[in-house]
């Protein structure tokens, strides 16, 4: 029996097209009588179903069902179904094949649909049948959206039957109630035209709790391409309000006008939006990069992330005989050593505190002279600073003990800094100074996160040109040309065609990207990281590179497990501290 039903699952094929007009949609209106209680795979005593399309009845299915358990007396009083009537009736496992075949390729309709669908799904699960997951339309929910309290006091089936003057009145018997629901459905569909609801997909969505703005602006999704790319919600004066990306622009934009979209700021944005602009892209990587660049260029008010990529800071080692760490807005060719970029000054200062815990770097901001001394601060008295201000340490020794370890940690191996911080955490833990140990741990996380990120970005940005390919979903190859960490060109090679001509065309029309200073000389860190994620996928193939893609052998990446462990510990501590 299960094998017979294997081909009945609409989810295996296209199913009912949500764009199908209501007048051309086949509906199966169903009603169940049960023994009451929760859906556990049994309890169904009667099934009634009517198939209709365009106002014409196509078929009916009605049967009593033996639930295998006694019927409660109040159910007999309510429905008139007795135990004697159900003794010769077939059990639900014998009824399901006929019912599932009857509802195949149709929209399932019921009054208070979650109740009926819940019993049917549980019965399928209990007896080994695959639930076909049809589209479901709830007439009770539809009535709540269409009819006002002035028209009907409630949305019970009996009330709606009287209001629409159905040919059959509900009697708490499955077929009668299903036939009454058919007339109620037709009455409700007649009212949907005034709400600009004409398709089955729109009708199902209309039953959900969408805002007036969502319903009023739903037409903004019309005519958009089902292609990867970027979409831009624009105001009446053409200002970008919100920028997003998707592998299917049309489907993603439509989701903003459904009940699934509950964000208050998006609801406010939809109220102001007047049109949606689509920018088609070759593939998902190009779409993600274009999204980042558009957000950076226009700073749309309803985008929260990536709005000001230029507002980054760096942690730099200053020049001079006794260098110190300084938080700066940019770096230049002459800078000795640096770490970043950081998204905020606070993040940079946290990493700086980690280096100060591990290295004897001075923290004062004075300009020190090799000829004259300056009075030492309290940090020198506490042994936290070698007091270069009083010339207690030579410039050479200071460089060896403090400055050079910072250069090494950022450019190649951070092990000495990591070991010093771990030792401090262990010592604080041994003294039961757990809060101080947690502070040092957060500094360790900041140091490792920044060094791993910068070395990873630097490895990519050193390559003048890199070409990569990834299999496209429908055949062919997705191609990307990256120059100094910036996406310079993108395209898709068709299936069955060698990708070399497409790659040559991309190269000929690609953006010229000059070399620069730092780990992100030509793009934002976020763009380069998106490119890295795309390149590091197992299915991506590197086609050509002008130079080797390399990272330091003893680089920060080898501490990724430690970083993940420290981040996890910090997250667990935060969750336990919350009330």
**pLDDT for 577 beyond 50:** no
Q: Which of 172, 198, 298, 391 is catalytic?
A: 172
The verdict on 541 and 415 lying in the same domain is: no
Asked whether residue 231 is assigned to any structural domain, the reply reads yes
Which of the four pLDDT bands, split at 50, 70 and 90, describes residue 382?
Answer: confident
CA distances from 467 to 365, 460, 518 (A): 46, 12, 22
Say what the pLDDT of residue 253 is.
94
Split at pLDDT 50, 70, 90, the class of 215 is confident
Task: Using pLDDT thresholds of 50, 70 and 90, give the confidence band for residue 14.
Answer: very low
Interval 150-208: pLDDT, tens: 899 999 999 999 999 999 999 999 999 999 999 999 999 999 988 778 899 888 888 87
Structure tokens at 158: 């009996």
Most confident of 33-42, 62-71, 475-484, 567-576: 475-484
H-helix or E-strand spanning residue 181 = helix 174-192
pLDDT at 381: 74
User: CA 208 to CA 199: how far, in whole Å?
Assistant: 15
User: Which of 438, 455, 472 is the last residue in one of the domains?
Assistant: 455
Q: Check whether residue 111 and residue 234 sit in a common domain.
A: no
Residue 330 sits in the same domain as residue 196: no
Nearest in space to 292 (alpha carbons), one of 347, 230, 224, 226: 230
Residues 217 and 202 reside in one and the same domain: no
Indicate whether 183 and 45 sit together in one domain. Answer: yes
Q: Is the dihedral of CA 60, 64, 68, 71 positive or negative?
A: positive
User: Do 258 and 159 lie in a common domain?
Assistant: no
Cis peptide preceding 341, ω within 30 of 0: yes
Percent of the chain with pLDDT over 90: 73
Same structural domain for residues 250 and 351?
A: no
Tell me, yes or no, whether 3 lies in a domain.
Answer: no
Residue 1 has pLDDT above 70, yes or no: no
Same domain flag for 94 and 187: yes
Q: What is the CATH number of the domain that holds 251?
A: 3.40.1440.10
**What is 316-350 written as a DSSP string?**
EEPPSSS--EEEES---TT-SEEEEEESSHHHHHH
Catalytic residue at 172? Answer: yes
258, 275, 298: which is the final residue of a domain? 298
pLDDT: is 48 or 370 the higher one? Answer: 48
pLDDT at 15: 64
**5 domain residue, yes or no:** no
Task: Collapse the DSSP code of 314 into the 3-class scheme (helix H, G, I; strand E, B; otherwise coil) and give the result.
Answer: strand
pLDDT of 341 over the 50 cut:
yes
Percent of the chain with pLDDT over 70: 96
Q: What is the mean pLDDT of the chain?
A: 90
Query: For 53-87, how does the pLDDT look when each residue is reduced to its tens digit (9 = 90+)?
Result: 999 999 999 999 999 889 999 999 999 999 999 99
Grade residue 5 by pLDDT with cuts at 50, 70 and 90.
Answer: very low
Task: Indicate whether 348 and 258 sit together in one domain.
Answer: no
Q: How far apart are CA 375 and CA 390, in angstroms?
A: 6
Q: Greater confidence, 319 or 339?
A: 339
216 — pLDDT class (breaks 50, 70, 90):
confident
Q: pLDDT digit string (tens) for 93-105?
A: 999 999 999 999 8
Angstrom distance (rounded) from CA 199 to CA 21: 4
Helices and strands in the chain, H and E counts: 22, 15
pLDDT mean over 292-309: 88
- Residue 145 in any domain: the answer is yes
Instruction: Single out the residue in 455, 472, 504 at which a domain terminates.
Output: 455
Locate the DSSP E strands across 377-521.
Answer: 466-471, 477-483, 486-493
Q: Which domain holds residue 442?
A: 313-455
Residues 6 or more apart in contact with residue 334 via CB below 8 angstroms: 319
Per-residue pLDDT tens digits for 543-562: 999 999 998 989 999 999 99
Residue 425's closest CA among 443, 446, 442, 441? 441
Predicted pLDDT at 7: 30
- Catalogue the long-range contacts made by 349-353 (C-beta closer than 8 Å, 24 or more residues apart): 350/442, 350/443, 350/446, 351/315, 351/443, 351/446, 351/447, 351/450, 352/315, 352/325, 352/327, 353/443, 353/446
Specify the pTM: 0.70
Q: Structure tokens of 33? A: 């009588």
Paired with 47 in beta bridges are 32, 63
Within this chain, do residues 58 and 199 fall inside the same structural domain, yes or no?
Answer: yes
Assigned token pair, 261:
């979209």
pLDDT of residue 206: 82
Q: How many domains does the chain have?
A: 4
Whether residue 85 is contained in a domain is answered as yes
Bridge partners (DSSP) listed for residue 62? 48
**50 in any annotated domain:** yes
- C-alpha–C-alpha distance, residues 412 and 421, integer Å: 18
In a domain, 260, yes or no: yes
Q: Report whether pLDDT(9) > 80.
A: no
Q: Where are the alpha helices (DSSP H) in 242-377?
A: 249-255, 264-272, 284-298, 345-358
Sheet architecture: strand order including 240-246? 240-246, 229-234, 275-280
Which residue in 363, 395, 391 sits closest to 378, CA to CA?
363
What's the CATH number where 193 sits?
3.30.420.10
Query: Running DSSP on this structure, what letter comes out for residue 449?
Result: H
Query: Distance (Å, rounded) from C-alpha 198 to C-alpha 496?
Result: 41
How is residue 495 annotated by DSSP? Answer: T
Whether 315 and 340 have beta carbons less than 8 Å apart is answered as: yes
pLDDT average, residue stretch 349-363: 95
Confidence of residue 250 (pLDDT cuts 50, 70, 90): very high
Residue 144 has pLDDT above 80, yes or no: yes
Confidence band of 12 (pLDDT split at 50, 70, 90): very low
Q: Which residue has the tokens 């970027």?
A: 230
pLDDT at 573: 62
Alpha-carbon gap, residue 548 to 462, rounded angstroms: 9
User: Does 202 lie in the same domain as 216?
Assistant: no
pLDDT at 45 over 90: yes
How many Å apart are CA 488 and CA 437, to the nearest integer? Answer: 45
Q: Mind listing the pLDDT tens digit for each residue in 260-287?
A: 787 888 989 999 999 999 999 999 999 9
State whether 83 and 148 are in the same domain. Answer: yes
Query: Would you say residue 432 lies in a domain?
Result: yes
Question: Encoding tokens for residue 518?
Answer: 């730092």
pLDDT at 309: 78
């Amino acid at each position: 029996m299960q094998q017979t039903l294997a081909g009945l699952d609409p989810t295996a094929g296209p199913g009912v097209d949500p764009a199908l007009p209501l007048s051309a949609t086949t509906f199966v209106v169903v009603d169940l009588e049960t023994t009451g209680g929760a859906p556990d795979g049994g309890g169904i005593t009667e099934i009634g179903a009517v198939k209709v399309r365009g106002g014409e009845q196509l078929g009916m299915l009605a049967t009593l069902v033996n639930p295998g358990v006694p019927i409660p007396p109040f159910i007999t009083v309510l429905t008139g179904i007795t135990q004697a009537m159900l003794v010769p009736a077939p059990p639900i496992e014998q009824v399901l094949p006929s019912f599932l075949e009857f509802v195949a390729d149709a929209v399932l309709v019921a009054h208070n649909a979650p109740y009926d669908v819940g019993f049917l799904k549980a019965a399928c699960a209990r007896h080994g049948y695959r639930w076909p997951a049809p589209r479901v339309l709830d007439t009770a929910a539809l009535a709540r959206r269409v009819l006002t309290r002035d028209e009907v006091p409630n949305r019970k089936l009996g009330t709606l039957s009287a209001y629409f003057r159905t040919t059959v009145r509900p009697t708490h018997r499955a077929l009668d109630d299903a036939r009454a629901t058919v007339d109620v459905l037709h009455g409700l569909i007649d009212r949907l035209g005034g709400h600009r609801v004409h398709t089955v997909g729109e009708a199902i969505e209309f039953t959900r709790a969408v805002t007036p703005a969502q319903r009023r602006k739903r037409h903004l999704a019309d005519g958009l391409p089902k292609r990867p790319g970027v979409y831009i919600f624009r105001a009446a004066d053409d200002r970008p309000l919100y920028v997003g990306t998707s592998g299917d622009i049309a489907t993603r934009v439509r989701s903003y006008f459904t009940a699934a979209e509950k964000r208050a700021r998006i609801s406010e944005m939809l109220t102001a939006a007047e049109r949606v602009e689509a920018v088609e892209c070759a593939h998902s990587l190009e779409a993600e990069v274009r999204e980042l660049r558009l957000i950076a260029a226009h700073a749309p008010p309803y985008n929260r992330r990536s709005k000001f990529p230029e507002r980054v800071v760096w942690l730099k080692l200053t020049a001079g005989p006794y260098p110190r760490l300084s938080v700066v807005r940019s770096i230049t060719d002459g800078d000795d050593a640096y770490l970043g970029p950081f998204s905020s000054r606070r993040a940079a200062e946290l990493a700086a505190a980690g280096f100060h815990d591990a290295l004897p770097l001075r923290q004062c901001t004075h300009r020190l002279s090799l000829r004259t001394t300056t009075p030492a601060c309290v940090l020198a008295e506490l042994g936290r600073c070698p007091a270069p201000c009083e010339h207690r340490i030579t410039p050479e020794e200071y460089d060896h003990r403090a400055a050079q370890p910072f250069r090494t940690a950022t450019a190649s191996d951070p092990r000495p800094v990591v070991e010093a911080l771990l030792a401090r955490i262990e010592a604080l833990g041994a003294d039961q100074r757990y809060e101080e140990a947690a502070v040092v741990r957060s500094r360790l996380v900041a140091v490792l996160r920044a060094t791993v990120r910068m070395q990873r970005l630097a490895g990519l940005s050193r390559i003048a040109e890199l070409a990569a390919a990834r299999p496209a979903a429908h055949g062919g190859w997705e191609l990307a040309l990256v120059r100094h960490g910036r996406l310079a060109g993108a395209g898709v090679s068709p299936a069955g065609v060698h990708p070399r001509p497409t790659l040559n065309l991309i190269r000929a029309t690609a953006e010229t990207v000059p070399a620069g200073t730092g780990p992100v000389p030509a793009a934002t860190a976020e763009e380069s990281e998106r490119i890295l994620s795309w390149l590091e996928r197992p299915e991506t193939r590197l086609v050509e590179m002008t130079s080797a893609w390399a990272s330091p052998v003893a680089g920060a990446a080898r501490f990724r497990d430690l970083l993940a462990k420290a981040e996890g510990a910090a997250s667990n501590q935060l969750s336990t501290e919350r009330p």
